[in-house]
Structure formats: C-alpha cells, structure tokens
Amino acid sequence: MTPTVSPQQLVAAAQTARKRAYAPYSNYAVGAAVLTDNGDIILGCNVENASYGGTICAERVALTAAIAQGKRDLRAIAVVTVDGASPCGFCRQVMIELGAEMDVYISDEGSNFRSTTARALLPDAFGG
Ligand code: THU
C-alpha cells in the first residue's frame, strides 16, 4: 500500500465516483477508485446502456482508465455500492490481468469496509 493514500481515503474516492454512476436501467450505482504506485487515484463508475450487454462495471472503467493514463503498477482498488456487494467475476478476472497483487476494499454507503485481495477473490485464476 502506498503510504500517502490510506484505504479510507481510497474508499472515500470511490464514494465520490459512485455519485457519477450512469445507471438508469438498474438504478444500482457503483463507484470504484484505483490506487497507483505513485499515489494517483483513478476513478470509475458503472456506465449502463439500453443494450444491456453494453454496460461496463465501475471497476473495469477505473482499471482500464488507469491503463489509458499510462499507469501500469496498480496497487489497490476500492469499490462502493449501496450494500457492500462483491465485484463480479468479470471484474475479478480484469483485476488479475492488470493488478494481480492488488488489495481490494469493499464498502457500502457507510464508512465501514472489508479488505481482501484480487487473488483471494479469484483463486486459481486463468492467466496467460
Ligand atoms: N456492476 C458494477 O459496476 N460492478 C460489479 O462488480 C457488479 C455490477 C454494475 C453493472 C450494472 O450497471 C449494475 O451494477 C447492476 O448489475
């Protein structure tokens, strides 16, 4: 964990991102925040589509945005939902691809969060 950004700060950033969710079909807003090796925080929210399969999860928006911004050493991701739900399987696979050693902080709307890792969320993952 980069010393300049605490897990609580990363969760707070994900809460900010969640307010930007575009979720008119499910009304289930998700926010994510990725922490890079140099302490940068990249935000993501879910972006839904009338063609439902075109929806992109908050985690993958944040993870892929980090890559697009030239970040390759991703240290942690925070995810915030109304009920503290776990990331979907698709997003777990992308976490393994882009930040296999990442810490993962999962939070509901309150200040409490639980801490896990990408590897714990997707044991025995397929990888190139
Ligand atoms: N969603 C995420 O953003 N992340 C997840 O890990 C699971 C689901 C979004 C997709 C959709 O916009 C809404 O939550 C309901 O499934």
Position in ligand 1 atom list of the atom nearest CA 86: 6
Ligand 1 residue neighbourhood (C-beta within 6 Å):
23, 26, 28, 30, 46, 48, 55, 57-59, 87-88, 91
- Which two structure tokens, joined as six digits, stand for 23? 């979720």
What is the C-alpha to C-alpha distance for residues 22 and 93, in angstroms, rounded to an integer? Answer: 23
Q: How far is the CA of 128 from the centre of ligand 1 (A)?
A: 26
Which residue's CA is the nearest one to ligand 1's atom 2?
57
48 given a catalytic annotation: no
109-118 pLDDT tens trace? 988 899 999 9
Measured CA to CA, the distance from residue 59 to residue 36 in angstroms comes to 14
Which H helix or E strand runs over 36? strand 31-36
**The predicted structure's pLDDT at residue 3:** 56
Q: What is the pLDDT of residues 66-110, one digit of tens each?
A: 999 999 999 999 999 999 999 999 999 999 999 999 999 999 998
What tokens were used for 89? 């399987």
pLDDT band for position 21 (cuts 50, 70, 90): very high
Nearest-10 Cα torsion for 96, 65, 69, 121? -20
pLDDT tens column, 43-61? 999 999 999 999 999 999 9
Nearest CA to 57 among 92, 107, 103, 104? Answer: 92
Exposed e or buried b per residue across 100-122, where buried means at least 16 C-beta atoms within 10 angstroms of its C-beta: eebbbbbbeeeeebeeeebbebb
